[in-house]
Amino acid sequence: MSRRISLREFQEHLSRRLSGAAQGDGTVSLLGVQAGKSFWLLDLSASGEIVSVPPLTQVPLTTSAFAGLANIRGNLHAVTDFPAFLGDEATSLQAPGVRLLLVGTKHGNNVAMLVSRLMGLKNPADFEIGPAPEQAPAWNAATFTDKEGRKWQRLDLPALLADPKFMNIVA
């Protein structure tokens, strides 16, 4: 039987774990996310804030992966639908678990990434590391396998933000 917890309890628990990781306790340093059918690991220190998806303002003449603009506490963020960017189906904003990662804030720009769901904080010791996929872009840094045999990709956020294909939203 699983114990149900409130959203507030979950957020407080996640906040404590994130705070511990940020202070260098060494137990957790990766954030797991699902983007369409694929699973990604992001360096926690580079990943930025996680928020619920606010209403998005559509922008004409942009790529299909550009989801729109989001107003987060008075700041506009350009939102890329990461699954769509990867060639998967566009993310349904009404799907349970969809979140927005403010990935650019720590890197000097207001870029956000829409993901299908959060998979939680991950300990690198729980994964077997492999090489990056052949002919992968620089931001697809490595392949990992968890204890259940699920494949994960390591996402290098600074390299993704430097990729002109990710940053160019013009169709």
pTM for this predicted structure = 0.82
Tens of pLDDT along the chain (171 residues)? 445 656 666 666 666 666 555 555 555 589 999 999 999 999 988 888 999 999 999 999 999 999 999 999 999 999 999 999 999 999 999 999 999 999 988 888 999 999 999 999 999 999 999 888 888 999 998 999 999 999 999 999 999 999 999 999 998
82 within a domain of the structure (yes/no)? yes
Q: Give the residue ranges of DSSP H helices in the chain.
A: 7-22, 44-47, 82-85, 157-162, 164-167
135 within a domain of the structure (yes/no)? yes
The pLDDT, as a whole number, for residue 21 is 52
1 within a domain of the structure (yes/no)? no
Please give the helix or strand (H or E) that residue 118 lies within, else none.
strand 117-122
Domain that holds residue 110: 7-167
155 within a domain of the structure (yes/no)? yes
Cβ-contact 76, 69 below 8 angstroms? yes
The pLDDT, as a whole number, for residue 1 is 44
134 within a domain of the structure (yes/no)? yes
CATH assignment of the domain containing 89? 2.40.50.180
Task: Provide the terminal-to-terminal Cα distance of the chain, rounded to the nearest Å.
Answer: 49
Please state the domain count of the chain. Answer: 1
2 within a domain of the structure (yes/no)? no
